[in-house]
Amino acid sequence: MRKEDTFFYSSLVVILCMVLGFVLIITNEKTGIPSSSSSSAKGGSQVLGALSLIRSHESLNGQALSGDNGLARGQMHFHRGTWDETIKSLGFSGDPDWSWERGSYDTWRCYIVTIAYWHRYCPEAIDRNDLDLLIRSFRLPTDPYRLDNNSYLFSVKQE
């Protein structure tokens, strides 16, 4: 990948996260329920909702920061290979703040990495604002509808 492409995609993901955060702030009422008046608000809330549900399930809201016998770590329980591959695609390789050892413990970095991961493996889930497919694709991006992924979807949504 060319350096220009890496910068473009890195910037795009950062901007997307900022926009999604802004949409969430704008559309939330005191109840915390997003407004349904615009499709972009619904889409932003679905992506942020999926991120929140997955974080809640994977790390018990940041209380259990290691899983799979130490192979997964951080807020979203990323495996090193997945984290490193995504960080490289964003152009952050070599930055100690984005290393698996440090970055995976930061919620916002995890969210940025997850969104970049989804953009690579399941852009249609983001385009369609499909909460279930986002959750399924987090665990099994190349086979989200594999039968054993149904229990993962169910347990994440029950959190």
Neighbours of 62 (CB within 10 A): 15
pLDDT at 46: 84
The predicted model scores a pTM of 0.73
pLDDT at 45: 72
Would you kindly state where each structural domain of the chain is located, as residue ranges? 50-60+68-159
Least confident interval from 12-16, 57-61, 116-120: 12-16
Average pLDDT over residues 50-74: 92
Least confident interval from 39-43, 81-85, 104-108, 149-153: 39-43
Q: What is the mean pLDDT of the chain?
A: 81
DSSP string, 11-51: HHHHHHHHHHHHHHHHHB-TT-PBP-S-HHHHHHHHHHHHH
Helix %, strand %, coil % of the chain (to 5): 65, 5, 30
Which of 154, 158, 136, 134 has its CA nearest to residue 145?
136
pLDDT at 26: 38
What CATH class has 50-60+68-159? mainly alpha
Residue 61 confidence class, pLDDT cut points 50, 70, 90: confident
Neighbours of 48 (CB within 10 A): 18
pLDDT at 87: 95
Residues 131 and 53: their CA atoms lie apart, in Å, by: 10
- pLDDT tens string 125-150: 988 889 999 999 999 999 999 999 99
Residue 81 buriedness (CB in 10 A; 0-12 / 13-18 / 19+)? exposed
